[in-house]
Amino acid sequence: MEDLSFQHRVRGRAGGTRQNAIVGVVASGNLEVLVERVLPDAECVVDIRTAAMGFGEIWSAVIGDFVERYSPGGLKFSINDGGARPDTVSLRLAQAVRSIAENGQ
């Protein structure tokens, strides 16, 4: 397993009022993303534990594009990855943002 962590300064706070949400499942080629509203508004953190070693550069590019596009301020993302492809990672991250943007507990 490999641990990776990315910190980004972002433009603004992510929408919604939910405190946390989870999407995806840990399986071959799949991943789970736990997102929690626990950070200051201008910060975003993505912590990753992945079964696929040596893909740090690709993760960095995927997370960079994601943060740029969604401006997920105040959110901490924790990922358990079973070796998902980058497009699956992007999709799950977008689903996590959509999920926590819903109103509710």
**Total number of residues binding other proteins (CB under 8 A)?**
33
Of 10-18, 39-47, 48-56, which segment contacts other proteins by CB under 8 A?
48-56
Q: Virtual CA dihedral for 16, 20, 26, 30, nearest 10 degrees?
A: 10
Decide: 11 and 55 in contact? Cβ < 8 Å: no
Measure the CA–CA gap between 29 and 27, rounded to whole angstroms: 6
4 binds other proteins (CB under 8 A): no
- Residues found near other proteins in the complex (CB under 8 A): 1, 20, 22, 25-27, 30, 32, 34, 36, 49-52, 57-58, 61-62, 78, 80-83, 85-88, 90-91, 94-95, 98, 104
